[in-house]
Amino acid sequence: MNALRKVNAGPGLELQTVPQPPAPGAGEVLLKVQSTGVCGTDLHIDEWTPSYHFVSAALPVTVGHEFSGEVAAQGAGVTGLAPGQLVAVRPSVVCGRCEACLAGDPDACVTRRGIGVMRDGGFAPWVVVPARNCVPIPPGVDAEVAALTEPLTVSHEAVRTGNVQPGDRVLVLGPGNIGQGIAIFARAAGARQVVVAGHGDAARLDVLRRMGFNDLIDFAGTGMEAGLAPYLQEGKFDVVIEATGADAVIAPALRALKTHGVLVITGIHAAPVPIDLTAMVRQHQQIRGSYRAPERAWPEVADFMRGHQETLRHMITHRVPLSRAAEGFALARDKVATKVMVQPQLEAA
């Protein structure tokens, strides 16, 4: 079978012919991959940015961690999954042996390995994964929407971390897939106003408009301070959630945040970011980091998808077969796309 692989500790990915996975072992399942999203992490691994050099220990490895698949075979001891069951895959594989795992707190596992990062992932027609990492998808949810589960859990966790309340005014910085999900969950939490801002992001802002968001700003035409000025006339924001990874937005984000407000950081920043701590302290502001969602959030997000599928489908702007994955990566990198789905079954079409 073909698989998109990281082969060398340097820039680039390769589409290689590799053996199909072996039969699943105890506690594992073989999945027929249905749809795999191109994520910012995949772009960083492709570009070989310094914060991803830890992947070297796993090379060569098949990338792809945002995916859905159908259960094709099960190893010994697997229960609760049926042949043909559509699942989303939680990419964080915990060890089951560290102190946290033994205490029943797998979210705090210290030796986790990521599917599609440190072990073979979803940019392939078939993959073997632990059964406990498979989250059943409710009937009626399409496989490509199911492949949005992982990024949606990140967005869900960011909104939870910000403790968004009914009546809040929320500013989302970054209109990509994660930012779009944040906007959706902030609205679902009862936010009175959700403002989403980007920089040179017309295509992604158009997606948000189709999802019913109207308070949209492109800082490329205004600059951040001027773009936010009309909204700050009403007052500062209760919660600001950053999903850009751009250090230049942090200081103005804090200035746009009310006293006792919360700034949530979800972007991965390549270098330390200077912060005016005195101003933050005097305004009783909080900065909180948000990364992976707890395991318990995954079924909640899967259930949310059942009632919001048509809205979520707008996020998927491009679909390519595995043989053209490089084109999909280029679309994602150039901000033409919101979410590119790589779908092995398109080869036959």
Give the active site residue among 17, 36, 44, 244.
Answer: 44
Rg from Cα positions in the chain: 20
Query: Using the 8-state DSSP alphabet, how is residue 2 labeled?
Result: E
Give the active site residue among 41, 149, 161, 317.
Answer: 41
Q: Which tokens go with 348?
A: 């036959």
The number of residues in the chain equals 349
CB atoms within 10 A of CB 260: 10
Of 134, 128, 133, nearest in space to 25 by CA? 128
**Is 161 among the residues known to form the active site?**
no
Residue 347 amino acid letter: E
User: 169-195 in b/e burial notation, b at 16+ Cβ within 10 A?
Assistant: bbbbbbbbbbbbbbbbbbbebebebbb
Q: How far apart are CA 153 and CA 139, in angstroms?
A: 19
Strand partners, 218: 198
- Residue 269 CB contacts under 8 Å (≥ 6 apart), including other chains: 245, 247
| Cα-to-chain-centroid distance, residue 133 | 16
- Phi and psi at 30, nearest 5°, equal -95, 125
Q: How far apart are CA 249 and CA 245, in angstroms?
A: 9
Q: How far apart are CA 95 and CA 105, in angstroms?
A: 11
Residue 28 amino acid letter: E
Distances (CA, A) of 193 to 44, 167, 234, 261, 300: 32, 8, 11, 15, 24
**Is 49 among the residues known to form the active site?**
no
Of 62, 43, 314, 63, nearest in space to 180 by CA? 314
The two most distant CA atoms of the chain are separated, in Å, by: 62
Catalytic residue list: 41, 44
